[in-house]
A and B are shown apart, each in its own frame.
Chain A
Amino acid sequence: MDYQFNTADLVFALPEIFMLSAISLILLIDLFVSQRFQNLTYTLAQITLFVTGYLAFSLIGESQVIFDGTFVLDTMGSTFKVFTMGFAMVALVYTRHYLKVHNLFRGEYFVLALLSVLGMMVMISAHSLLTIYLGLEIMSLSLYTLIAIARDRATAVEAALKYFVLGAIASGLLLYGMSMIYGITGSLDIAQIATFATSATLASEQVLILNFGLVFLVIGIAFKLGAVPFHMWVPDVYQGAPTSVTMFLSTVPKIAATAMLVRLLIDGLGAMQAYWSDLFMVLAILSIALGSLVALMQSNIKRLLAYSTISHIGFILLGFTTGVIEGYGAAVFYVLVYILMSLAAFGSIIALNKQGFEAEQIADFRGLSKHSPWFALIMLVVMLSMAGVPPFIGFYSKLFILQQVISAGYVYLAITAVVFAVISAYYYLQIIKTMYFDDAEGEITVTAPLDMKVVLSVNGILILVIGIMPSYWMELAISLF
């Protein structure tokens, strides 16, 4: 056989190539700069994210499958990459304050964060089972290390180990499913798997094996997203990890996980939509129910947000059960909205951190409105938006999903989701009550630096502004499919 490597293809992978080169460079620079210029690594990481985002942006509109079918460049991929870079930049701004006050500020932190973003880019652009898996492992391995970077805290080490072991099990299940799909289709290429799955002459045994593999793929994806009943790791990891890492892993990777879902199940096994839709329905309802009910009993705000994430994931999966492009668009819109809200929520928690003080209880928010009304207002907006109160953006994301679910004919599903969304409003409102009506026990101050205050304010304002005109973003999300 004659194999070809087309050098001209490299242009289409420019964001990834730039990112990897920059990471290697930062790693070296960080080794030789003294502790006094620590901020250099941080600044370089931000510049890298910005340039990579710009490169991905300039590739929007190009559509190409390169590297012998292992890499795909399309509008969805490029747009996802731009959003990933943007959200990662915001997350790093918040991260810096947390690391400074807790003496965790090290160059490796930013290098590992960039490496996990690289893994996300690989997942987003994957066009073969092999690259999906490699991207997933690059992302996860960096995240495990980020959690354990606070190795003096027993809870962080426990969280890292738990995440590592359960992540390995999830990867194993995913790989097993992939091996089944590969065994029956004879190809790792997503396009060829799709061709095989849509061919009309499938024997019933072949459908059975495809289904068998599909179940394991769905379990692997559910594990990574944290959907019930594969959610066990979420609360412990969210609570145990340093807050900046919790923020990072609860927000940015969700885009890549969505991309993995789209590539595997919609692009690859779109012909099996009727099968995986049913699985998703069960996962979605269980996630929404458990996420809403168990969060009622939490006093640790990181744990509460973990359960809140689980119920948001339920809504996202609900969007994918519809099987129509509008439903997929609504789910992607929900993912982006969720990340925006979650960043602001964790940003507010981090803003309360100061030297030697770790804010992680709901009680730490007591009396915030008296000491810094502006940040209390931002947290108010975030909580109302997460609860789904109009006119904030969280209302529209839920509305779009429910519209699609109802027009797909699942009225009962929509009603159940709404009932649990109302229940979940209780704990969001309780945080607001704590901020506005309870008195602080000690002195409560926001010591965050100026850049963080500005970004956090913009983040909060965006939740309101996009909520006023959400249709543009919704159309953008639908146009990706």
Chain B
Amino acid sequence: MEFTSVLFYVFGLSFVASAALMVSARNTMKAAMLLILSFFSAASIWLLLEAEFLAVTLILVYVGAVMVLFLFVIKMLDVDQSTLRAKFTKYLPLGIVVAVIVIAQMALVLSAGQFGLDAVAEPARHAADYSNITELANLLYTAYVYPFELAAVLLLIAIIAAITLVHRKGSRSKKQNIAEQVSVQAKDRMRLVSIPSGKRKESK
């Protein structure tokens, strides 16, 4: 067996194993960590496939940003695990039946031998000086410039949607008005009230 094949099986095994453990983990933090491991394994497999840019992006974006955000959310939300899992066994039999049927159907169609090496030619290996990023950039700014721009529009919509739905003018906004803070006078903040001394009013 070649060295790359060994690597592929190592990474593949850790990918599948971490994904399975992540789904079954009871502790959310552990699940998040296992998800990071499965991302990492997937990135390694992509490296073997000469998709260096994708591999680096997966780690930078998903592990670096998305998972950190996930961890924040897990820490900040107090999710009661027992209520989430209460119905697990109740739905398990049905879930297994559905999963088996789906897997069987997919196996029937996909085993038709149309996706193997005899149907699709093996992609050629590139030379050592081949630059994945240059090639990707060439494609993105020529053949795929239109879908690329559309993806940018999608991100713009996401920003507009997030701000529209979350930003609220008024009471919940804690915006500072510097000019107001600087020009504030003592009498704006403090009120002198003269309280007459002597008999206290009876409270009802």
| B160 adjacent to A111 (CB under 8 Å) | yes
Q: Is A480 close to B, CB under 8 A? A: no
Q: Which residues of B contact A205 (CB under 8 A)?
A: 112-114
| B165 adjacent to A151 (CB under 8 Å) | yes
| B138 adjacent to A131 (CB under 8 Å) | no
Q: Which of B25-33, B147-155, B170-178 contacts A (4 or more CB under 8 A)?
A: B147-155
Not counting A112-B160, A151-B165, A205-B113, a sample of 17 additional A-B residue pairs whose C-beta atoms are within 8 angstroms of each other reads A3-B139, A3-B143, A13-B146, A20-B153, A108-B160, A112-B157, A122-B150, A131-B147, A131-B150, A134-B150, A138-B154, A141-B154, A149-B164, A183-B114, A205-B112, A206-B114, A209-B114
Q: Please report the C-alpha to C-alpha distance between residue A54 and residue B154 in the assembled complex, in whole angstroms.
A: 25
Q: Please report the C-alpha to C-alpha distance between residue A71 and residue B147 in the assembled complex, in whole angstroms.
A: 9
| A148 adjacent to B157 (CB under 8 Å) | no
Between A and B, 13 residue pairs with Cβ closer than 8 Å are A3-B142, A70-B146, A70-B147, A106-B164, A130-B144, A130-B147, A131-B146, A134-B147, A134-B150, A142-B161, A145-B161, A145-B164, A208-B109
Q: Which residues of B contact A184 (CB under 8 A)?
A: 114
Cβ-closest chain A residue relative to B105? A212
A residues 1-53 in Cβ contact with B at 8 Å: 1, 3-5, 13, 20, 27
Q: Please report the C-alpha to C-alpha distance between residue A1 and residue B157 in the assembled complex, in whole angstroms.
A: 34
Q: Which residues of B contact A57 (CB under 8 A)?
A: none
Q: Which residues of B contact A186 (CB under 8 A)?
A: 120
| A70 adjacent to B109 (CB under 8 Å) | no
Number of B residues with CB within 8 Å of any CB on chain A: 27
Q: Which residues of A contact B157 (CB under 8 A)?
A: 112, 115, 138, 141-142, 145
Cβ-closest chain A residue relative to B149? A20
Q: Which residues of B contact A475 (CB under 8 A)?
A: none
Q: Is B158 close to A, CB under 8 A? A: yes
Q: Is B130 close to A, CB under 8 A? A: no
Q: Please report the C-alpha to C-alpha distance between residue A145 and residue B120 in the assembled complex, in whole angstroms.
A: 42
Minimum distance in angstroms from B6 CB to a CB of chain A = 28
Q: Which residues of B contact A212 (CB under 8 A)?
A: 109
Partner of B146, one of A71, A118, A144, A145: A71
| B160 adjacent to A115 (CB under 8 Å) | yes
| A141 adjacent to B158 (CB under 8 Å) | yes
Partner of B145, one of A67, A134, A142, A149: A67
Q: Which residues of A contact B72 (CB under 8 A)?
A: none
Minimum distance in angstroms from A45 CB to a CB of chain B = 14
Q: Is B3 close to A, CB under 8 A? A: no
Assess A137 versus B154: contact at CB under 8 Å? Given A145-B161, A145-B164, A209-B114.
yes
| B151 adjacent to A149 (CB under 8 Å) | no
Q: Please report the C-alpha to C-alpha distance between residue A212 and residue B115 in the assembled complex, in whole angstroms.
A: 14
Q: Which residues of B contact A148 (CB under 8 A)?
A: 165
| A5 adjacent to B141 (CB under 8 Å) | yes
Minimum distance in angstroms from A97 CB to a CB of chain B = 21
Q: Which residues of A contact B153 (CB under 8 A)?
A: 20, 115, 118, 138
Partner of A209, one of B112, B141, B144: B112
Q: Which residues of B contact A131 (CB under 8 A)?
A: 146-147, 150
Minimum distance in angstroms from A459 CB to a CB of chain B = 29
Q: Please report the C-alpha to C-alpha distance between residue A5 and residue B140 in the assembled complex, in whole angstroms.
A: 10
Cβ-closest chain B residue relative to A131? B147
Q: Is A253 close to B, CB under 8 A? A: no
| A149 adjacent to B160 (CB under 8 Å) | no
Q: Which residues of A contact B138 (CB under 8 A)?
A: 1, 3
Cβ-closest chain B residue relative to A186? B120
Chain A 176-210, CB within 8 Å of chain B: the 1/0 string? Answer: 00000001101000000000000000000110110
Q: Which residues of A contact B158 (CB under 8 A)?
A: 141
Cβ-closest chain B residue relative to A183? B115
Q: Please report the C-alpha to C-alpha distance between residue A148 and residue B157 in the assembled complex, in whole angstroms.
A: 14
| A135 adjacent to B165 (CB under 8 Å) | no
Cβ-closest chain A residue relative to B113? A205
A residues 86-132 in Cβ contact with B at 8 Å: 106, 108, 111-112, 115, 118, 122, 128, 130-131
Q: Please report the C-alpha to C-alpha distance between residue A349 and residue B9 in the assembled complex, in whole angstroms.
A: 63
Q: Is A68 close to B, CB under 8 A? A: yes
Q: Which residues of B contact A130 (CB under 8 A)?
A: 144, 147
| B146 adjacent to A67 (CB under 8 Å) | yes
Partner of A70, one of B115, B144, B160: B144
| B142 adjacent to A68 (CB under 8 Å) | yes
Q: Which residues of A contact B109 (CB under 8 A)?
A: 208-209, 212
| A145 adjacent to B115 (CB under 8 Å) | no
Q: Please report the C-alpha to C-alpha distance between residue A148 and residue B145 in the assembled complex, in whole angstroms.
A: 32
Cβ-closest chain B residue relative to A134? B150
Q: Which residues of A contact B112 (CB under 8 A)?
A: 205, 208-209
| B147 adjacent to A145 (CB under 8 Å) | no
Q: Please report the C-alpha to C-alpha distance between residue A334 and residue B30 in the assembled complex, in whole angstroms.
A: 55
Q: Please report the C-alpha to C-alpha distance between residue A24 and residue B141 in the assembled complex, in whole angstroms.
A: 21
Q: Please report the C-alpha to C-alpha distance between residue A134 and residue B154 in the assembled complex, in whole angstroms.
A: 8
| A108 adjacent to B164 (CB under 8 Å) | yes
| A135 adjacent to B150 (CB under 8 Å) | yes
Q: Please report the C-alpha to C-alpha distance between residue A108 and residue B161 in the assembled complex, in whole angstroms.
A: 9
Q: Which residues of A contact B142 (CB under 8 A)?
A: 3-5, 68
Minimum distance in angstroms from A245 CB to a CB of chain B = 13
Partner of B144, one of A68, A118, A135, A183: A68
Q: Which residues of A contact B144 (CB under 8 A)?
A: 68, 70, 130
Chain A 125-168, CB within 8 Å of chain B: the 1/0 string? Answer: 00010110011011001101100110100000000000000000
Minimum distance in angstroms from B154 CB to a CB of chain A = 6
Minimum distance in angstroms from A133 CB to a CB of chain B = 9
Minimum distance in angstroms from A156 CB to a CB of chain B = 11
Instruction: Choose among A141, A149, A186 the residue with the greatest number of B CB atoms under 10 Å from its CB.
Output: A141
Q: Which residues of B contact A209 (CB under 8 A)?
A: 109, 112, 114
Minimum distance in angstroms from B124 CB to a CB of chain A = 13
Partner of A149, one of B143, B154, B165: B165
